[in-house]
C-alpha cells in the first residue's frame, strides 16, 4: 500500500521538468559563481520573483528560516524588539535564532486567528524610554500555519502596516505559503505584500522545488541582505542548480495549489460528519483536528494512522495537523478520511 505523507508540504518532490531544467541550464553553460553575481539562472529567478511580488529586488536564500532571519537582521539592530504572533513559525519553530543569532528581543502577541490587529499593535509598541527595548519591526505570517493555514487578507495587512509605519516600524511578511493565500483569494501575490517592507516565500513547499526560498524588498534592502546572507554562511556558488527548479516552481506550480485546497476541503467535508470531532473549515491546504473528545492524543493518533501507511506529525497534544500537498491525490484524501473514521470509532469516549 502506497504511503500518503501529510506531515507537511515540504515533502513534495521536484517534477521531472524541474530536473530537466537543471540539465538544460548546464548544457547552456548558464551556471556561474553566485557570490560574485555571475550565475545567470539565479539572476533570472530573482528578477522573476521580484516582479511577481511587486518588489524592486529579490535574493535567493537556502531556506525559509534563513530568509526570515536575514530579513529581520537587515532591518533591525541587536537589542531591538520584534513584535510577533505567539504561535507564528518564526517564534516557535526557528530555534530561537532571532535571539540567539541576532540578539533580537521577541515580543509575542496572541493574535486573532493568527492576526495581530492594529489595535493590539498600538498597545504593545514600547515607549521611547531607556527601560524598554526599542520596537523596530513586526512580522506577519501569511498563511498562518498554526492557526490552520489561515489567510491574512490584504486589507488586514494594509491596516497593520499603516500603524507600524506610523510608528517607524518595519513590516516583514513570512510568506512561506503566500501563494496559497493568493490562489485562494484569486489575487496577485503582490497585492498581499504591497505595504510590507520585506517578504519571504518558500519555493520548496507547495511549489515543489527541492530547495530554496526568496526574500524581496527594495534594492537597498537586498543590498544589505546579501551582506547578512554571507555572514550566515549563505553564500552559494553554482546556485543555478537550485534556481532552475525555482523558476519552474514560479512559472508552473502556483495555480495547481488549488488542487491542494480542494483536497483539504474534501477531507474537511468527510470529517465534519464524525460526531465529536472538532475542526475548522480550511481556507487553504492545512487542516487541524481536535481529538479532545476521543480517548487518543495526537501522538497515538499518528501511530494509528501509520498502520494505514498515512504519515502525520504527532506533537500537537490533542491537535493533529494534515497538510495537503502535490503528492496527495483526491483518491488518497478519501482513503485518509476513511482511515480516520475507522480509528476514531475505535477510540470514541
- Through-space distance between the first and last CA atoms of the chain, rounded to whole angstroms: 30
**pLDDT at site 318:** 75
**Is 3 within a domain?**
no
Residue ranges of the chain whose pLDDT lies below 50 = none
Strands (E) in 210-280, as ranges, are: 213-217, 278-279
Q: Is 102 in the same domain as 239?
A: yes
> Are 297 and 247 in a shared domain?
no
Answer yes or no: are the C-beta atoms of 111 and 120 closer than 8 Å: yes
Look at residue 1 and tell me if it is in a domain: no
In this predicted model, what pLDDT tens digit does every residue of 23-55 receive, in sequence order? 999 999 999 999 999 999 999 999 999 999 999
Spatial strand order in the sheet of 286-290: 278-279, 286-290, 319-323
The reported pLDDT for the residue numbered 314 is 81
Residue 121 confidence (pLDDT): 98
Amino acid 316: pLDDT:
59
> Residue 294: which CATH number?
3.90.1150.10
Q: Are 97 and 244 within one domain?
A: yes
Name every residue whose Cβ is closer than 8 Å to that of residue 169 and which is 6 or more positions away in sequence: 83, 125, 135, 136, 137, 138
- Which residue, 201, 190, 193, 198, is CA-closest to 225? 198
Instruction: Region of 168 please: left (phi>0), alpha (psi -120 to 50) or beta.
Output: left
Residue 70 sits in the same domain as residue 211: yes
Q: Is residue 8 part of a domain?
A: no
User: Residue 112 has which C-alpha cell?
Assistant: 486573532
Query: Are residues 216 and 162 part of one domain?
Result: yes
Q: What is the pLDDT of residue 312?
A: 97
How many independent structural domains does the chain possess? 2
- CATH number of residue 94's parent domain: 3.40.640.10
Q: What is the pLDDT of residue 251?
A: 98
The pLDDT tens digits of the residues spanning 100-145 come to 999 999 999 999 999 999 999 999 999 999 999 999 999 999 999 9
Amino acid at each position: 500500500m502506497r504511503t500518503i505523507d501529510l506531515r507537511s508540504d515540504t515533502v513534495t518532490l521536484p517534477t521531472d521538468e524541474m530536473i530537466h531544467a537543471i540539465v538544460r541550464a548546464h548544457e547552456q553553460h548558464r551556471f556561474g559563481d553566485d557570490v560574485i553575481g555571475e550565475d545567470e539562472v539565479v539572476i533570472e529567478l530573482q528578477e522573476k520573483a521580484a516582479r511577481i511580488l511587486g518588489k524592486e529586488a529579490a535574493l535567493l536564500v537556502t531556506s525559509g528560516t534563513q530568509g526570515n532571519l536575514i530579513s529581520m537582521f537587515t532591518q533591525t539592530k541587536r537589542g531591538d524588539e520584534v513584535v510577533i504572533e505567539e504561535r507564528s513559525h518564526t517564534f516557535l519553530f526557528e530555534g530561537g535564532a532571532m535571539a540567539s543569532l541576532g540578539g533580537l528581543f521577541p515580543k509575542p502577541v496572541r493574535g486573532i486567528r493568527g492576526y495581530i490587529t492594529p489595535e493590539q499593535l498600538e498597545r504593545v509598541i514600547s515607549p521611547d524610554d531607556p527601560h524598554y527595548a526599542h520596537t523596530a519591526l513586526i512580522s506577519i505570517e501569511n498563511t498562518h500555519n498554526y492557526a490552520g493555514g489561515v489567510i491574512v487578507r490584504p486589507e488586514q495587512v494594509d491596516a497593520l502596516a499603516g500603524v507600524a509605519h506610523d510608528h517607524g516600524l518595519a513590516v516583514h511578511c513570512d510568506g512561506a505559503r503566500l501563494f496559497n493565500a493568493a490562489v485562494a483569494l484569486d489575487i496577485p501575490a503582490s497585492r498581499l505584500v504591497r505595504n510590507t517592507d520585506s517578504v519571504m516565500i518558500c519555493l520548496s513547499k507547495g511549489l515543489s522545488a527541492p530547495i530554496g526560498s526568496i526574500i524581496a524588498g527594495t534594492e537597498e534592502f537586498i543590498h544589505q541582505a546579501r551582506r547578512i546572507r554571507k555572514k550566515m554562511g549563505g553564500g552559494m556558488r553554482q546556485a543555478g542548480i537550485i534556481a532552475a527548479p525555482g523558476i519552474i516552481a514560479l512559472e508552473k506550480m502556483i495555480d495547481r495549489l488549488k488542487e491542494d485546497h480542494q483536497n483539504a476541503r474534501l477531507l474537511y467535508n468527510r470529517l465534519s460528519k464524525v460526531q465529536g470531532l472538532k475542526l475548522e473549515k480550511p481556507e487553504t491546504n492545512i487542516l487541524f483536528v481536535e481529538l479532545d473528545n476521543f480517548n487518543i492524543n495526537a501522538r497515538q493518533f499518528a501511530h494509528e494512522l501509520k498502520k494505514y501507511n498515512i504519515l502525520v506529525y504527532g506533537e500537537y497534544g490533542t491537535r493533529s495537523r494534515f497538510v495537503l500537498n502535490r503528492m496527495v491525490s483526491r483518491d488518497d484524501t478519501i482513503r485518509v478520511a476513511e482511515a480516520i473514521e475507522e480509528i476514531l470509532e475505535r477510540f470514541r469516549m
